Every structure is written in structure tokens, then in C-alpha cells.
Homo-oligomer: A and B are copies of this chain.
Amino acid sequence: MTTLIGDVLTITELAREAGVTARAIRFYESKGLLIPRRAGTTRIYTHRERGRLQLILRGKRLGFTLTDIGEYLDLYDADPTQHDQIVLLLDKVNNRIGELESQKADIDDTLKELSSVRAQALAAM
């Protein structure tokens, strides 16, 4: 393949950079989460796609489904010039914030319990 000029990547380069397989990246695209441009048939990835991939991976680490992540990504693309869009956007954002806040609470509860388990284990040594 021709070496790409400028700040763009091929699928394998992006895959290695992000620590995922090329198959996974194509799969995300088939779900509409990534829409790279093409040079003929070959996919080319720019800074924008790299950012979106990072958001996808973070969403996965947080336990969201790809469908969830798709809606989440739409928040960034939503056109904030239409009033109805704004209201919808604010609603979605607030919901997501609520979800994450309660997830943080779960994590904090779990961390407390693990500290207690650890303390008991140390006491038994």
C-alpha cells in the first residue's frame, strides 16, 4: 500500500496504536460508531476517528454496550442550533451523568468493602 501522507493512519496502524484488532475496528464501523473516509476501498483514519475510537474503548471499559456508546457519541455530533435538539441533548447528557454518578457510588461501596477485606487479611498475618 501507498504510504499515507499527513496525519492519517491505515486500519492496522490505528489498531496497533489503540490496542485492538482491525476486525474490531471494522465491526465498530458496521455498527455506525466510526465512519472513516476511503481512498478507493481502503479505509483512512484521521485525528477525529482516533478520538472517537478512544471514546468507544472508554465506554467499553465502563461497561456500556456498543449501542449505548453509539448514542453517547451522537451527543458530540448533535447540532446545537435547533432548540428541540438542545432539549433532547440536555436530557440525554443528564441521564448519562446520573448513570455514571451511581456507577461511581457502586465503585466506592466496593472499594470500601475491599479495604475491609484487606484489613482483615493483614490482621491475620
> What's the nearest-Cβ distance from chain B to residue A83, in Å?
7
- State whether A76 touches B117 (Cβ < 8 A): yes
Interface size band for A: 20 to 34
Query: A63 to B122, alpha carbons, bound, how many Å?
Result: 28
Chain B residue contacts of A104, Cβ below 8 A: 104, 107
- State whether A110 touches B118 (Cβ < 8 A): no
Chain B residue contacts of A107, Cβ below 8 A: 62, 100, 103-104, 107
Q: Is the interface of A mostly helix, strand, loop or mixed?
A: helix
A89 at the interface (CB under 8 A from B): yes
Determine, out of A10-18, A28-36, A40-48, A91-99, the stretch whose residues face the partner at the interface: A91-99
- State whether A106 touches B58 (Cβ < 8 A): yes
A38 at the interface (CB under 8 A from B): no
- State whether A93 touches B81 (Cβ < 8 A): no
> What's the nearest-Cβ distance from chain B to residue A3, in Å?
33
Chain B residue contacts of A103, Cβ below 8 A: 61-62, 107
What 5 A-B pairs have minimum CB-CB distances, sorted nearest first? A63-B63, A80-B124, A93-B118, A86-B121, A89-B121
